């Protein structure tokens, strides 16, 4: 029970009985402003923390110097002293509306900072490669073999399935046009050239970005949350040596093999369509496939795969290392790793295609 008595400059709160209420009396801060508060509790039988919270919410705007205690239980007095230790401040949620130029400038500054961080990260990775060549890189061979098994043999099934379906779809789409001219047999040439030159590498890159790039970002990001990266830094172990280098090496080794597998499965998918749906003899399909196969196209596709492996490894490791300190940041880093890897792969494809056209490849 609370009784409030207002005198000239003092408001007395008489507390008595069982105090377990969470609803404060009908009194506002204006009634207490510029007045001294006296809390008297000589008749208190029992109390709980809900009542203390209610009392703090009622008096939180009153300065600590204006509050005195008389005969309060020791525990309640200590809680109130602790609650009033920091002066109450109104939270101002007034959002300042920025002009267009301010927003544009802020975006430019953030973009420049991200480019700088990316360049520093790539430079550190190059230094790690240099240390590896002279035998001074610090990483465990066991980590390399574990990562290689994850991004190599364990990715064969999904790459084979997707590439087979892409070759099948490519053959169906080509047959729709070539069938009107009675040239279904050239579907074999279409599938062979398309898969070996670009489609096999692109599909493998997209699959590995969603599978392996996300795994890199999530695993390293989790290490950031668990402060394992801080431990590496404390021990003087370069993070690019211990974490990035084995992942890049594993992808560089596995991607050309996966691109080759993707090319073969895509050609088999086209064969499935031609032989079973277009009634093209198997021997003719094999003949046109061999005639259309060009080592230059194959090497261009493998080069795409090598460049894609670097992009996937760098994006996954970069966003993992620069992850935040909570679980939500790990999810954000994983998403960014996949999105940025795919975007940079498409950009790199454009540059490589333009360069090949300029040199006549």
| Reported confidence tier of residue 27, pLDDT bands at 50, 70, 90 | low
Query: Does 268 score more than 80 pLDDT?
Result: yes
Per-residue CA distances from 233 to 82, 165, 178, 230 (Å) = 39, 46, 61, 5
- 304-318 residue pLDDT tens: 999 999 999 999 999
Count Cβ atoms below 10 Å from residue 129 Cβ, excluding itself. Answer: 16
Return the closest-CA partner of residue 269 out of 174, 154, 198.
Answer: 174
Return the closest-CA partner of residue 270 out of 149, 163, 133, 156.
Answer: 163
Average pLDDT, the chain: 83
Global pTM value: 0.71
Cα 102 to the center of its chain, rounded Å: 28
CB–CB of 42/13 below 8 Å? no
- 60-71 residue pLDDT tens: 777 777 777 777
Count Cβ atoms below 10 Å from residue 227 Cβ, excluding itself. Answer: 11
Which residue segments constitute the domains of the chain, with CATH numbers given?
2-83 (3.30.750.24), 114-359 (no CATH)
pLDDT at 42: 74
- 169-226 residue pLDDT tens: 888 888 877 777 777 778 888 888 888 988 899 999 999 999 899 999 999 988 888 8
């Amino acid at each position: 029970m609370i009784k409030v008595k207002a005198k000239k400059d003092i408001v007395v709160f008489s507390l008595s009985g069982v105090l377990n209420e969470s609803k404060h009396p009908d009194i506002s801060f204006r009634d207490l402003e510029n007045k001294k508060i006296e809390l008297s509790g000589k008749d208190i039988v029992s109390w709980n923390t809900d009542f203390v919270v209610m009392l703090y919410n009622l008096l939180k705007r009153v300065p600590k110097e204006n509050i005195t205690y008389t005969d309060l239980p020791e525990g309640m007095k200590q809680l109130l002293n602790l609650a009033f230790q920091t002066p109450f401040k109104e939270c101002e949620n007034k959002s300042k509306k920025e002009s267009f130029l301010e927003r544009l400038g802020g975006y430019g500054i953030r973009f420049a900072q991200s480019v700088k961080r990316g360049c520093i990260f790539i430079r550190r990775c190059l230094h790690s490669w240099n240390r590896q060549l002279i035998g001074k890189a610090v990483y465990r061979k066991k980590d390399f073999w574990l990562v290689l098994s994850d991004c190599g043999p364990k990715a064969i099934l999904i790459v084979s399935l997707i590439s087979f379906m892409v070759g099948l779809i490519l053959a169906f789409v080509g047959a729709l046009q070539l069938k009107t001219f009675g040239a279904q047999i050239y579907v074999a040439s279409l599938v062979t050239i398309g898969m070996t030159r670009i489609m096999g590498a692109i599909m493998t890159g997209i699959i590995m970005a969603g599978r392996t790039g996300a795994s890199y970002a999530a695993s390293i990001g989790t290490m950031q949350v668990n402060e394992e990266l801080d431990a590496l830094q404390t021990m003087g172990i370069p993070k690019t040596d211990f974490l990035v280098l084995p992942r890049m090496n594993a992808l560089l080794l596995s991607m050309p093999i996966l691109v080759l597998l993707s090319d073969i499965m895509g050609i088999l998918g086209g064969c499935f369509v031609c032989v079973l749906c277009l009634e093209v003899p198997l021997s003719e399909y094999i003949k046109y496939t061999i005639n259309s196969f060009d080592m230059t196209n194959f090497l261009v596709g493998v080069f795409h795969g090598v460049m894609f492996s670097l992009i996937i490894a760098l994006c996954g490791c970069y966003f993992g290392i620069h992850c935040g300190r909570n679980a939500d940041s790990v999810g954000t880093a994983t998403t960014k790793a996949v999105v940025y890897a795919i975007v940079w792969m498409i950009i790199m494809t454009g540059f490589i295609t333009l360069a090949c056209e300029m040199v006549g490849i």
